[in-house]
C-alpha cells in the first residue's frame, strides 16, 4: 500500500499472506529485512563502532592505536549506506532525538532521578576513565597487587574521553547525551519498521514504540503470588521491582534494562532493530562485521545474540549472497580490530563463574523453574503472535530464548540477562506487529485478546520496575572513588568477586600491544573516605 493510501485500507495489503485464501496468516518475513542500507543504518553502525576507536587509540601502543584509527576510518568510509540518503525529515529526526534524550532520563546516568544500585560501580568506571591514566590499572596498598580494569567499556569511552578533557561532571553529562543519542536512533529504527509493516497506518509507530519501551515478561503474576505467600502483600514489588523471582536466571524487561544496564541494552537493541530492517539485504552484509565487533566491546554476551541473529538472516539468503560479502573491506578491518579487543575482553575471564544449569543447581528444581520461566517470559508472547502471523524470525528468537537458560555465565547469570536481549527485542517488535495484523477468524481474535492481556500485565509489571524512580530519592555520584574503592563500599560488596570487571596485571597477552600503564594507588580497606557521604541507593 503506498503511503498516500487511506489508513482504512485492508490490512492484508500491508501484510503479504502466505498460502491461498484470505485466512492465511500474514508473512512478516516478506516485509522485514530487505531495506537497502541508508544514512540511518550508517549512523547506528558508527555509533556502535566509535568507542572501539577511542579505546585502541588511547590504550594501545602508539603505532597500533594510530593504525587502528586509520583503518577504522577507512572501514567507515566504505560502509554501505553513504548513498542511501537519510530516511526521515529533519524535523522528525530532531523530535526523535529529543524523545531519546528524555527517555534516557530514566537511565540514572545524570543522578537527577533515582539511579539503580549498579550505578555505584558504573560511576566508578566513568570516574577512572576520566581521571586515571590509560590503560587503567589499580595497585592495592595492602598487598601491592595490580589489577587491570578489564570490562566492556564501549558505553563509557566517548564520555570518558571528554572527561579527560573537561572534567568528571562533563563526562556525566556526556554519558546522558550518549545514552539519549542511542535511544533516539532506536526510535528512528522503530519508526522505519512501523512504516514498513503498516505503511500509512496511523498509530503504528506509537504502538510499536510504546510496546517496545514497556516490553517484558509477566513477572507481576509470580511476584504477586510469592509476595502474598510470604506476607509482603500482593503488591510487595512496588518500589522494589521483582524480575529476579526465578533466582536462577532473568530476562530483563526493557524498563529494567534501561534503569539498570543501558550499557548492555543499547548494544543489543540497536543491532537487533538494524538487522530486522536490513538483515536480508546482501549489501548490508558488507558492513555487518563492524556492527558486531563494535557491539562486542559494549557487551560481549549481548553481541553474541546479535551475531546469531545476523548469521540466521544472512544464511537465509543462501551462500551465493553471503560469500561475496565476507571479504568486503569493512568486514576485514573489523576482523583485524576484533583481535586486540577480544584479547582485552577475555583476559582473566576464566575466573568468571560458569557451567551448565543442571550441574550448577539441583536438576529437578531447575527444570521446573525453567519451564515456568519460559511460560511467563517468552511463550506468553510467542504463541499468540504465531497465531496471528507467520515468521521464521519469531521461531528463531523463541528457540534461542528457550535454550539460553541452560547455561550459566557470570554473576546473576549474564547468559540469560544479557544474551536474551536481542531475541527479546525481536519478540517485542513481532508482538507489536502481530497486534496490527488482521484477525479474520475467531481463533486469531482470541490470540489478539491474549496478546492484549499480555500487554496489560507486562505494562503493570514494568510499572512495578519503574516505581524505583518515584519511591526512592536521587543520590549523588561519588566524585573521588576509584573502582576498587566503590566495589568495597557498594551494596554488592559481599556478593560479587568482580572477576567480570578486573584482571590481574601484568597480562602477557596484553603487554605486547597495550601501553605501559601508570598504576593508580588504592588505599587499604578502611582508609578510603566514604564514597557516598550523603547516602547511596
Strand pairing class (137-140; 520-522): parallel
pLDDT grade, residue 7 (50/70/90)? Answer: very low
361 Rama sector, left if φ>0, alpha if ψ -120 to 50, beta otherwise: beta
* pLDDT for the residue numbered 212: 97
Q: Are 413 and 248 in contact (CB under 8 A)?
A: yes
**Alpha carbon separation from 110 to 217, 334, 480, 535 (Å, rounded):** 28, 32, 16, 16
The answer on pLDDT for 11 being more than 60 is no
The more confident residue out of 61 and 7 is: 61
Question: How many whole angstroms separate alpha carbon 232 and alpha carbon 507?
Answer: 49
Strand pairing class (520-522; 146-149): unpaired
Cell of 345: 575482553
pLDDT grade, residue 4 (50/70/90)? Answer: very low
Mean pLDDT of 91-109: 95
pLDDT, tens digit (0-9, with 9 covering 90-100), for 422-466: 999 999 999 999 999 998 999 999 999 999 999 999 999 999 999
* pLDDT for the residue numbered 537: 86
CB atoms < 10 A from the CB of 286, how many?
22
Strand pairing class (502-505; 146-149): antiparallel
**Alpha carbon separation from 44 to 41, 184, 187 (Å, rounded):** 5, 10, 12
Domain positions in the chain are 38-123+158-471
The contacts found for 449-457 with CB under 8 angstroms, 24 or more apart, are: 450/380, 450/383, 450/384, 451/381, 451/384, 451/385, 451/388, 454/218, 454/380, 454/381, 454/384, 455/211, 455/431, 457/218, 457/220, 457/221
pTM above 0.75, yes or no: yes
The answer on pLDDT for 265 being more than 90 is yes
Question: How many whole angstroms separate alpha carbon 272 and alpha carbon 56?
Answer: 26
Mean pLDDT of 469-494: 92
**Alpha carbon separation from 349 to 219, 507, 512, 531 (Å, rounded):** 31, 12, 19, 28
pLDDT grade, residue 125 (50/70/90)? Answer: very high
pLDDT, tens digit (0-9, with 9 covering 90-100), for 338-360: 999 999 999 877 767 778 888 88
**Average pLDDT, rounded, for the chain:** 90
H or E stretch covering 408: strand 407-409
* pLDDT for the residue numbered 17: 56
Considering only 64-78, 237-251, 388-402, which range has the smallest mean pLDDT?
A: 237-251
Torsion of CA 510, 516, 521, 525, to 10 degrees: 10
The answer on pLDDT for 19 being more than 60 is no
Mean pLDDT of 217-227: 93
Amino acid at each position: 500500500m503506498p503511503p498516500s493510501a487511506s489508513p482504512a485500507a485492508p490490512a492484508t495489503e500491508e501484510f503479504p499472506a502466505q498460502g491461498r485464501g484470505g485466512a492465511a496468516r500474514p508473512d512478516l518475513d516478506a516485509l522485514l529485512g530487505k531495506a537497502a542500507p541508508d544514512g540511518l543504518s550508517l549512523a547506528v553502525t558508527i555509533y556502535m563502532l566509535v568507542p572501539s576507536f577511542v579505546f585502541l587509540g588511547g590504550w594501545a601502543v602508539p603505532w597500533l592505536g594510530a593504525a587502528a584509527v586509520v583503518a577504522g576510518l577507512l572501514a567507515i568510509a566504505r560502509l554501505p549506506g553513504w548513498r542511501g540518503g537519510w530516511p526521515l525529515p529533519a524535523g522528525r529526526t530532531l523530535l526523535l532525538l529529543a524523545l531519546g534524550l528524555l527517555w534516557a532520563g530514566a537511565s540514572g546516568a545524570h543522578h537527577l532521578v533515582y539511579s539503580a544500585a549498579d550505578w555505584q560501580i558504573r560511576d566508578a568506571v566513568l570516574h577512572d576513565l576520566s581521571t586515571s591514566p590509560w590503560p587503567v590499572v589499580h595497585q592495592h596498598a595492602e598487598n601491592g597487587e595490580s589489577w587491570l580494569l578489564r570490562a566492556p567499556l564501549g558505553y563509557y569511552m566517548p564520555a570518558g574521553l571528554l572527561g579527560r578533557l573537561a572534567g568528571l561532571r562533563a563526562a556525566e553529562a556526556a554519558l546522558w547525551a550518549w545514552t539519549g543519542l542511542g535511544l533516539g536512533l532506536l526510535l528512528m529504527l522503530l519508526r522505519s519498521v512501523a512504516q514498513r509493516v503498516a505503511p500509512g497506518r496511523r498509530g503504528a509507530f506509537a504502538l510499536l514504540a510504546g510496546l517496545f519501551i514497556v516490553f517484558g515478561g509477566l513477572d507481576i503474576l509470580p511476584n504477586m503470588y510469592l509476595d502474598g505467600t510470604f506476607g509482603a502483600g500482593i503488591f510487595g514489588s512496588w518500589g522494589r521491582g521483582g524480575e529476579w523471582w526465578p533466582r536462577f536466571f532473568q530476562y530483563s524487561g526493557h524498563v529494567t534494562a534501561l534503569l539498570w544496564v543501558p550499557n548492555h541494552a543499547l548494544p543489543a537493541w540497536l543491532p537487533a532493530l538494524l538487522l530486522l530492517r536490513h538483515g536480508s539485504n546482501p549489501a548490508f552484509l558488507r558492513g555487518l562485521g563492524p556492527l558486531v565487533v563494535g557491539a562486542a566491546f559494549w557487551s560481549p554476551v549481548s553481541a553474541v545474540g546479535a551475531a546469531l541473529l545476523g548469521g540466521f538472516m544472512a544464511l537465509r539468503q543462501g551462500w551465493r549472497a553471503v560469500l561475496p560479502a565476507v571479504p568486503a573491506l569493512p568486514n576485514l578491518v573489523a576482523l583485524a580490530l576484533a583481535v586486540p579487543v577480544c584479547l582485552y575482553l577475555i583476559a582473566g575471564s576464566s575466573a568468571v563463574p560458569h557451567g551448565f544449569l543442571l550441574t550448577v543447581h539441583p536438576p529437578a528444581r531447575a527444570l521446573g523453574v525453567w519451564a515456568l520461566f519460559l511460560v511467563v517470559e517468552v511463550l506468553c508472547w510467542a504463541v499468540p503472535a504465531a497465531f496471528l502471523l507467520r515468521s521464521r524470525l519469531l521461531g528463531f528468537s523463541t528457540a534461542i530464548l528457550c535454550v539460553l537458560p541452560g547455561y550459566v555465565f557470570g554473576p546473576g547469570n549474564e547468559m540469560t540477562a544479557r544474551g536474551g536481549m536481542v531475541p527479546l527485542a525481536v519478540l517485542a517488535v513481532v508482538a507489536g506487529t502481530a497486534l496490527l495484523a488482521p484477525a479474520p477468524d475467531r481463533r486469531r481474535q482470541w490470540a489478539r485478546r491474549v496478546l492484549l492481556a499480555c500487554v496489560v500485565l507486562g505494562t503493570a509489571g514494568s510499572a512495578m520496575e519503574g516505581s524505583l524512580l518515584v519511591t526512592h530519592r536521587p543520590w549523588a555520584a561519588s566524585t573521588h572513588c576509584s573502582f576498587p574503592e566503590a566495589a568495597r563500599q557498594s551494596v554488592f560488596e559481599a556478593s560479587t568477586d568482580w572477576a567480570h570487571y578486573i584482571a590481574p596485571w601484568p597480562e602477557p597477552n596484553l603487554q605486547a600491544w597495550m601501553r605501559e600503564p601508570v598504576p593508580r594507588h588504592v588505599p587499604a580497606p578502611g582508609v578510603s573516605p566514604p564514597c557516598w557521604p550523603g547516602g547511596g541507593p
